[in-house]
Amino acid sequence: MKPSAVEVRSYQVGFGDCFLLSFVYPKKTRRHVLIDFGTTALPRRGSKPVNQADHMERIATDIAQVSGGQLTAVVATHRHADHISGFATTAKGGGSGRIIADCKPKLVLQPWTEDPKAARDARKATADSSRSRRSFVSGLNAMHRVAHAVCKIGTAPPRSMPVSIAKELAFLGMDNIKNESAVKNLIAMGARRGATAVWAHHGSTSGLSRLLPGVRVHVLGPPDLTQSEKIRRMRSSDPHEFWQLMAGPKALRGMGIARRSAGGKGRVPAEARWFQQRLATMTSEQLLEIVRVLDDEMNNTSLILLFEVGSKKLLFPGDAQLENWSWALEEAPDATRTQKLLAKVDLYKVGHHGSRNATPKQMLWDRFLKRGGPGARRMKSLLSTLPGKHGNTLKKTEVPRRTLREALDQQTDLVDTQKLSMAAKAPLCHVVTIPV
């Protein structure tokens, strides 16, 4: 049994990702895979803000309807809110997450870092080597605590903090806050009777090929620690150690969350005030720098999935950044084979909402063979994004990055969620059909 086509639905989730892949088999049977379901910011409806929970519930209902109430698999590429917030349930157990769970996915696929076993080990990992799996995962968990603090700072910043930094902190903080309900729901869906949970890394099996006859699914990322550690023979230190440093309770207090009651000795003397101001600005900048590093680290735990359907190739890299890509494309033992596979990609889900560091220019983009002028063979690209939320135009870090978007527009059939209206009766998604 082989699929004759794949339909890809790209939903309007603002700054977030939500894709439904429907594999069309003979006799009109279909199998559906949901890749990510989250948002951190939605476009406005006219001048009014849109309620996120309501909007996500509408999308969940649509997904249930399209899939006939049965999902073959759910994929959560990584733990950021803009990829999983839709899996959350309400306090009473309802909401968009409930609707998805009721579609009884047979498989829940996540990166290895989400394996609850790894997390349980991680809690006692403080005295462990900084390079172990456990402390890596505990570092990821620490990120959530940092995110809480950062979010609060961002929304009620001290006077000394520039507004632009506060806004970015709030946004990054929001994205990194642990979405307890969504995480639990994903675990529950995988633990359901008759369902399997798979935590994958580069080169491991996804479990999808078994459920989707005629489809091969390659897991290209993220690398496992034992894999990525080999990149450097003499690695000097480990990034994850400093997450732990940042995440102690004192750290949060120091970040201005719980101010120490005693300890201050009045006003800074006049001759030191200029430096006091500078110090405050530096502190804000340093904090933002740290949060960006942590945010990237989480992005790098993204699953990179390549679906091979007949001769067609569909690439879904989540928010993978350069470090994750470089393993798959340059350093892994099978990198040459991966390069060859990816050269022929027919549909590319643009990494990390079109940011500048998630579509490697030379390693990936330049090697896509099906870029070019309009034509039937030309590759398609899916961009799910919302401008004005992330990065800075002057520093050329805006998301989506202008130059990348121009290249996508000129050299691929670009399908962009920005073009989907938020009007109440407008369609919720683009549908792209790839005949096999």
Task: Note whether 359 binds another protein by CB under 8 A.
Answer: yes
Angle between helices 239-247 and 133-155 (to 10 degrees): 50
249 is an interface residue for another protein by CB under 8 A: yes
What distance in Å separates the CA atoms of residue 137 and residue 81, rounded to the nearest whole number?
17
Question: Between residues 287 and 434, which has the closer beta carbon with respect to another protein?
Answer: 287
Are residues 172 and 295 in contact, defined by beta-carbon separation less than 8 angstroms?
Answer: yes
Give the nearer residue to another protein in terms of CB position, either 194 or 263. Answer: 263
| Number of neighbouring beta carbons within 10 Å of residue 132 | 17
The single residue among 47, 237, 373, 376 that binds another protein, judged by CB under 8 A, is 237
Q: Which is nearer to another protein, 97 or 223 (CB)?
A: 223
Q: Is residue 401 involved in binding another protein (CB under 8 A)?
A: yes
Q: Does 241 bind another protein (CB under 8 A)?
A: yes
**Contact flag: residue 289 with another protein (CB under 8 A):** yes
In the complex, what is the shortest distance from the CB of residue 240 to another protein, in angstroms, rounded to a whole number? 9
Residue where the block lists tokens 């948002």: 39
What residues pair up with 75 in beta bridges, in sequence order?
35, 109
Contacts of 234-241 with C-beta under 8 Å, sequence gap 24+, read: 237/130, 238/130, 238/131, 239/139, 239/293, 239/297, 240/130, 240/135, 240/136, 240/139, 240/297, 241/130, 241/135, 241/139
Two tokens, residue 344: 């022929």
Residue 414 binds to another protein (criterion: CB under 8 A): no
Scanning 305-401, the segments in alpha helix (DSSP H) are 322-326, 335-343
Q: Which CA distances in Å does 377 have to 208, 229, 307, 372, 374?
A: 27, 39, 18, 9, 8
Cβ closest to another protein, residue 324 vs residue 384:
324
What residues contact 90, with CB distance under 8 A and at least 6 apart? 53, 98
Among 48, 92, 265, 377, contact with another protein (rule: CB under 8 A): 265
Q: Is 236 a residue that touches another protein (CB under 8 A)?
A: yes
Query: Applying CB under 8 A, what is the total number of residues that bind another protein?
Result: 63
Q: At closest approach, how far in Å is the CB of 414 from another protein? A: 15
Give the one residue of 48, 260, 377, 425 binding another protein; rule: CB under 8 A.
260
Nearer to another protein, 279 or 431 (CB): 279
**What's at 425, amino acid-wise?**
K
Cβ of residue 331: shortest distance to another protein, in angstroms?
11
Residues that bind another protein in the complex, under the rule CB under 8 A: 126-127, 158, 160, 232-239, 241-242, 244-246, 248-251, 253-256, 259-260, 263-269, 271-272, 275-276, 278-280, 282-283, 286-287, 289-290, 293, 322-323, 325-326, 356-357, 359-363, 401, 403-404, 407
